[in-house]
Amino acid sequence: MSLDDTRNIIIKVADRLFSRFGFHKTSMDEIAKIARKAKGSLYYHFASKEELFKEVVSKEINKLKHTLSNIIEDPDLDASEKIKKYLVDRMVVLNDSANYHETLRADFFEHFDFIDSLRTDLDNWEKENLKKIILQGIENGEFAPVKEMDVLLDMFIMVLKGLEIPFFLQEKYDKYSPYFEGLMGILIKGLAP
Amino acid sequence: MSLDDTRNIIIKVADRLFSRFGFHKTSMDEIAKIARKAKGSLYYHFASKEELFKEVVSKEINKLKHTLSNIIEDPDLDASEKIKKYLVDRMVVLNDSANYHETLRADFFEHFDFIDSLRTDLDNWEKENLKKIILQGIENGEFAPVKEMDVLLDMFIMVLKGLEIPFFLQEKYDKYSPYFEGLMGILIKGLAP
DNA sequence: AACTGACTAAAAAACATTAACAGTCAAAAA
DNA sequence: TTTTTGACTGTTAATGTTTTTTAGTCAGTT
């Protein structure tokens, strides 16, 4: 059994248990038992429970980034199509990211600030990549030039994060997802010249 | 000292103390002391601590509704101007509504569901009134007809509520308020034909 | 190097006790 | 009759103590 196998088994089991019970209600003993490893083995591969959880959330985030990067790099899409697909697929992927949902509560609970850097990194990544799309649109004449684009993007990311709470924590995504594209369409139209 | 005077004194003191210490950390004994009334007098006028807090939050909400109603009924504004002013002034008024800010946490804490009806009522009121503006815009040809307007408005209200968390709980409003109008402008432009 | 299982200090949970609190109500005051 | 009071009480919250669980450690084994 190679190094990677044990590590991946731990991650896989942790993903399952954290998804189901949340960070605080999942113990390292449980993860070890179900992974059929000694608890010390978990600590050989991960510095702490927090690092393990971050690894699990990072995998979800990387999956999201991968999906969105494909959209951004697709040469067949113009900027409007890209941003629409970005926004829609973003919610689709995040809807299935149970551990990510837990991070949405971070602002309201103590002992969860170790997650802040992950969330900040994702915000920065998103800002950067949305900006790419918008700049592409401006260059191609699809979008009007935008003043103060950086702050507007900050706020727009707040909007997206704010929507995640009713969608994923209050389970409203299923009800509203068929119409989300329509709302984003209005916004994208507002970007046009 | 008339009936209304005592009641108003209680409300005024409660507003101050709840604003400063929050609902859970303000006791009825304290409110009574500072209002120079017996605690039993508070219960003569208000059925419970919860009802007193709701009264205080309602006053903030009524102030908001009053401000926004003036905008909606202003005959000198077209629909675009109305909705822009609505959205901007909405945040201005809510920024000063400390007790309302506390209700934003309701979804994350127990023992606060007595506030739900207030929040639902405000959502419904907002939906109704935003719809009025949009319908006015559609009638006058300022806005394109909107499909599924009701669900889109639901989501838009989620967007506004979602923005309240960084703005008012994370104290980002001062930083971003100068640019909020710009973001709303893009959205309003997207409503145009 | 990777893994184990016994161990331990710290944190969390459970339990017990005390203090604070929301709410009550008969009596007093207006 | 209405409004207000202040003493009272059951419930809840806070505090303190004890027990259990947990994250993390590490010498020994593979």
CATH of the domain at A32: 1.10.10.60
Q: What is the pLDDT of residue A110?
A: 74
Of B5, B16, B88, B87, whose CA–CA distance to B45 is shortest?
B5
Q: What is the pLDDT of residue B161?
A: 95
Residue with tokens 């999956």: A63
Distance, Å, A13 CA → C10 C1': 26
Distance, Å, B27 CA → C19 C1': 14
Q: Residue B158 sits in which domain range? A: 50-189
* Residue A8 in tokens: 């991946």
Do residues B41 and B55 share a domain? no
Separation between Cα atoms, residue B91 and residue B177, nearest integer Å: 8
Do residues B90 and B102 share a domain? yes
CB pairs under 8 A between A and B: 93
> What does the mean pLDDT of chain B come to?
94
- Strand C neighbours (CB under 7 Å) are A 1, 3, 5-6, 36-41, 44-45, 111; B 26-29, 39-40, 43, 48-50
Report whether pLDDT(B128) > 70.
Answer: yes
* Residues B191, A186: C-beta atoms closer than 8 Å: yes
Q: What is the pLDDT of residue A2?
A: 59
Do residues B57 and B147 share a domain? yes
Confidence of residue A106 (pLDDT cuts 50, 70, 90): confident
* Residue B192 in tokens: 């145009």
Per-residue pLDDT of B14-42, as tens digits, reads 999 999 999 999 999 999 999 999 999 99
ipTM score? 0.91
Do residues A128 and A170 share a domain? yes
Percentage above 70 pLDDT, chain A: 98
Per-residue pLDDT of A66-91, as tens digits, reads 999 999 999 999 999 999 999 999 99
Report whether pLDDT(A193) > 70.
Answer: yes
Q: Mutate which of B91, B158, B163 to disrupt the A interface (most A C-beta within 10 Å)?
A: B158
Task: Give me the numbers of helices (H) and strands (E) for chain A, helices first please.
Answer: 9, 0
- CATH number of the structural domain spanning residue B84: 1.10.357
Do residues A24 and A71 share a domain? no
Per-residue pLDDT of B44-102, as tens digits, reads 999 999 999 999 999 999 999 999 999 999 999 999 999 999 999 999 999 999 999 99
Q: What is the pLDDT of residue A105?
A: 86
Number of domains composing chain A: 2
User: Measured between CB atoms, which of B146, B159, B182 is closest to A163?
Assistant: B159
Do residues B37 and B104 share a domain? no
Report whether pLDDT(A150) > 70.
Answer: yes
Percentage above 90 pLDDT, chain B: 91
Q: What is the pLDDT of residue A3?
A: 62
Do residues A90 and A183 share a domain? yes
Q: What is the pLDDT of residue A9?
A: 95
Q: Read off φ and ψ for residue A9, nearest 5 degrees.
A: -60, -45
Do residues B99 and B144 share a domain? yes
- Within 8 A of A105 by CB-CB distance, chain B residues are 108
Separation between Cα atoms, residue A107 and residue A168, nearest integer Å: 16
Report whether pLDDT(A156) > 90.
Answer: yes
Of A10, A12, A179, A15, whose CA–CA distance to A96 is shortest?
A15
3-state SS assignment for residue A30:
helix
Cα distance between the two ends of chain B: 59
Q: Mean of the pLDDT values across residues B133-141?
A: 95
Do residues A84 and A178 share a domain? yes
How far, in Å, are A95, A111, A155 from residue A159 at the CA level?
16, 25, 6
Do residues A61 and A113 share a domain? yes
Q: Mean of the pLDDT values across residues B173-179?
A: 97
Separation between Cα atoms, residue A164 and residue B161, nearest integer Å: 12
Q: What is the pLDDT of residue B109?
A: 78
CB A46, CB A58: distance < 8 Å: no
- Within 8 A of A153 by CB-CB distance, chain B residues are none
* Residues A176, B154: C-beta atoms closer than 8 Å: yes
Half-sphere exposure of A128 (CA within 13 A, CB side): 9
Separation between Cα atoms, residue B158 and residue B130, nearest integer Å: 13
Separation between Cα atoms, residue B146 and residue A185, nearest integer Å: 11
Do residues A96 and A168 share a domain? yes
Nucleotides of C under 7 A from a protein CB: 1-6, 12, 20-26
Separation between Cα atoms, residue B137 and residue B82, nearest integer Å: 10
Q: What is the pLDDT of residue B110?
A: 75
Do residues B81 and B58 share a domain? yes
